[in-house]
Structure formats: structure tokens, C-alpha cells
Amino acid sequence: MNIIIKKHLLLYKGYKLKCSIGKSGITPSKKEGDLVSPKGIFRLGFLYYRKDRIKSLKCKIKKRIIKKNMGWCDDSRSKKYNQEIYFPFKYHAEKLYRKDNIYDIFINIKFNYCPIIKGKGSAIFLHLTNINYKPTSGCIAIVKKDFLKILPLINKKTRISIS
């Protein structure tokens, strides 16, 4: 069963949850930096989490602990574009270990993945938002209690459908 994203709703296994999407909406022709969420059906990658902030996890997908030197490359000049990287790093990349809480726990959405097309868009995650549901730069975001509610139901066959 797919996680369905329609406008500002996430629907999954009987749950109907409020979510944030890209500031400029949803498009089938995403480009790096355009502030839109990509339209389509995507596989899910690893679950990433901050061990110092998330104590226990019920989860059926592979997980990775976020370390202080981890990032995600969003610089299309790099061979590591749209991939996890470690700092120091020569090109531009987003830090995964942040002061705010939005990346305390997130799942990588496998957009622009196989093959990776430079400039098509990078670092599309299902991550946390605060109670204001601020629009994202292209990711999907939900509050922590909702994330922890649906996480045990997600497995390696789960897809996310953004429309």
C-alpha cells in the first residue's frame, strides 16, 4: 500500500494526516532549487535519525544514525549529486545534523535516483515539521507524533505517491 500525498494531506493505512509540501506546490518537472515537490510514485530509502533525540524506533526499513559530519549533496557539479556525503566536502551540501528538529528523523524519498540526472532535484525527504506546517523546499513534512504513528507500518515495499 502506498503513502498518498494530496495537497496538504498524507493518507496511509487509515490515517489522514496534515502535511507540508514544497512552497511552490507539486510538479512533474522538478528542477533543483524550484521549491516544488516532485509528482510521481517513488520508492523509499533509508530511515535516518538522531540517536541523541529519538530514543526508540519501531521500524521495518533499514536505518542509519545521523552523525555530525553527514550531509546530502545538492550541488549538480559534484559526482555525489543527490547522495549522502560526509563533511568536509568540496561542493555544496545540506547538513543532516541540524540544530532545529526537522531532520531528527526522516526517510529518503528516492526521487531522481536511478539514474541521477544533474539539476533535476535532490534531497527529497519525508521529514518532520513543527505545528505551523511551514512549506518545504520540496520535501514532504509531518509532525513527529504522526511520523512515529505511521513508521511501524512502513516496509521496503511501501511507495510514496505525490500528486
Domains along the chain?
3-162 (2.40.440)
- The predicted structure's pLDDT at residue 131: 87
In order of 74, 84, 125, the CA distances from 49 in angstroms are: 20, 14, 12
Which of the 8 DSSP states describes residue 148?
H
Helix (H) or strand (E) holding 5: strand 3-6
Helix, strand, coil % over all residues of the chain, rounded to 5: 5, 35, 60
User: Is a pLDDT exceeding 90 seen at residue 1?
Assistant: no
Dihedral angle sign, alpha carbons of residues 61, 43, 79, 39? negative
- What is the C-alpha to C-alpha distance for residues 13 and 59, in angstroms, rounded to an integer? 15
- The predicted structure's pLDDT at residue 61: 97
Record the pTM. 0.97
Which residues 6+ apart lie within 8 Å of 44 measured at CB? Answer: 61, 107, 108, 109, 110, 126, 154, 156, 158, 159, 160
Q: What is the mean pLDDT of residues 80-96?
A: 98
Q: Which amino acid is at 60?
A: K
